[in-house]
C-alpha cells in the first residue's frame, strides 16, 4: 500500500468529481467510503495539505487577480462547520471569509434569489467559503414547496449561467456535497444533545427534517446531475468519517490552487539593492 494510505490509483479529484452530464443517484455513493485511505495516515496528510493551502492562498492574495469560491452543502450535521474549522484554518483571515446562508431576510426576499449571493462572491485575491449557498433555492425551497415547481425548476439553468459568469471573470469554483448516512446523522444529533457545549447547535426541527430524507436525496440528485459543469464542478464527499471528509476536501482544494499557480507580483517599481536607514 502506498505511503499515503491509498490502495487505489487516481487523484481524489478524479474519483470524487461528478462528471458533467452524468446522472447521479446518491444511493450509489457510500457515505462511509474512504477510497482505500487509512485513519492513521490521514492526519499527517491533512496537515501537509493545510500547509499547502496557507502558502498558496498567500500567493493568491498577493497576486490579487483571481478568486476562489468554495461551496459546502449537505444535510444537517454533515460537517460543513467542521470543514471550515479543520481544513480552512490554513487560510489567513485577511484574504478569506466564510458566508453562511440562512433563512432569507425581508430585504433579500424582496430581490431575486441570487441577489444576496452575488454581493458576497470573492473579489480579486480572495477565497470565499459558502456554508450552504444559492443551492438552498433548489433544495429546501423545493422540498418544502416554498415556491411552485414552475419557478424552482428553472433555477438550475439560471445557477449554471451565474456560475459560468463568475468563472469567466476569473473565479475558480469548487462545490462539495458532504454525503452522510441517516444513521450517522442521528448519532451526531445525539452527540450534540448529550454535550452541553454543543447542545446549542441542536434544534428539534432537525428531527423533523430527517423525515424528508428521501425528498432531500432526490433534490440533491438533481442538483448534482444538472449543475456539475466544467466551470463549476460538484464533488460528492463521503462524510461519515470526519477524517476522510477533511482529507478529501483539503487535497482537492490544495490541488486546485496549485493548478492556478498564483505568483507573487513583480516589484519592478522598487529600487534595486535598497538599504534602509
3-state secondary structure of 74: strand
H-only helix segments in the chain: 12-16, 39-63, 80-86, 106-109, 115-118, 140-143, 149-152, 155-168, 182-194, 204-210, 213-227, 242-260
Among 93, 94, 139, 100, which Cα is nearest to 116's?
A: 100
* Domains in the chain, number: 1
Q: Is the entire prediction scored with pTM above 0.75?
A: yes
Residue 186: give its domain's CATH number: 3.40.50.300
Instruction: Please answer whether residues 130 and 71 qualify as being in contact, where contact means their C-beta atoms are separated by less than 8 angstroms.
Output: yes
132 assigned to some structural domain: yes
Whether 50 is covered by a domain: the verdict is: yes
Residue 219's SS3 state is helix
Separation CA 152–CA 154 (nearest Å) = 5
- Whether 3 maps to a domain, the answer reads no
- Residue 137 located in a structural domain: yes
Q: What is the pLDDT along the chain (277 residues), one digit of tens a residue?
A: 233 333 345 799 999 999 999 999 999 999 999 999 999 999 999 999 999 999 999 999 999 999 999 999 999 999 999 999 999 998 999 899 999 999 999 999 999 999 999 999 999 999 999 999 999 999 999 999 999 999 999 999 999 999 999 999 999 999 999 999 999 999 999 999 999 999 999 999 999 999 999 999 999 999 999 999 999 999 999 999 999 999 999 999 999 999 999 999 988 778 888 898 8
Domain range for 204: 12-260
Q: Could you tell me if 99 and 130 are in contact, meaning their C-beta atoms sit under 8 angstroms apart?
A: yes
Residue 225, in any domain of the structure? yes
**Residue 235, SS3 per DSSP:** strand
Three-state secondary-structure class, residue 102? coil
Q: In this structure, is residue 2 part of a structural domain?
A: no
How would you classify the pairing of strands 127-131 and 67-74? parallel
Amino acid at each position: 500500500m502506498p505511503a499515503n494510505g491509498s490502495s487505489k490509483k487516481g487523484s481524489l479529484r478524479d474519483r470524487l468529481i461528478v462528471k458533467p452530464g452524468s446522472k447521479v443517484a446518491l444511493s450509489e455513493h457510500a457515505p462511509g467510503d474512504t477510497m482505500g485511505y487509512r485513519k492513521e495516515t490521514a492526519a499527517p496528510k491533512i496537515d501537509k495539505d493545510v500547509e499547502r493551502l496557507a502558502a498558496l492562498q498567500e500567493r493568491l492574495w498577493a497576486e490579487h487577480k483571481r478568486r476562489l469560491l468554495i461551496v459546502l452543502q449537505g444535510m444537517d450535521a454533515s460537517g460543513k462547520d467542521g470543514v471550515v474549522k479543520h481544513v480552512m484554518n490554513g487560510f489567513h483571515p485577511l484574504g478569506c471569509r466564510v458566508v453562511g446562508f440562512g433563512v432569507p431576510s425581508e430585504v433579500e426576499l424582496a430581490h431575486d434569489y441570487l441577489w444576496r449571493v452575488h454581493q458576497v462572491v470573492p473579489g480579486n485575491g480572495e477565497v470565499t467559503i459558502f456554508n450552504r449557498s444559492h443551492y438552498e433555492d433548489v433544495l429546501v425551497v423545493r422540498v418544502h414547496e416554498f415556491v411552485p415547481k414552475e419557478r424552482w425548476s428553472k433555477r438550475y439553468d439560471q445557477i449554471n449561467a451565474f456560475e459560468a459568469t463568475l468563472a469567466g471573470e476569473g473565479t475558480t469554483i469548487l462545490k462539495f456535497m458532504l454525503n452522510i448516512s441517516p444513521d450517522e446523522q442521528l448519532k451526531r444529533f445525539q452527540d450534540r444533545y448529550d454535550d452541553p457545549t454543543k447542545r446549542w447547535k441542536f434544534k428539534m426541527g432537525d428531527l423533523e427534517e430527517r423525515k424528508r430524507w428521501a425528498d432531500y436525496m432526490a433534490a440533491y440528485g438533481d442538483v448534482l446531475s444538472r449543475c456539475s459543469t466544467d466551470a463549476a464542478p460538484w464533488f460528492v464527499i463521503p462524510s461519515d468519517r470526519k477524517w476522510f471528509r477533511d482529507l478529501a476536501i483539503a487535497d482537492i482544494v490544495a490541488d486546485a490552487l496549485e493548478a492556478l499557480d498564483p505568483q507573487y507580483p513583480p516589484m519592478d517599481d522598487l529600487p534595486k539593492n535598497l538599504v534602509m536607514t
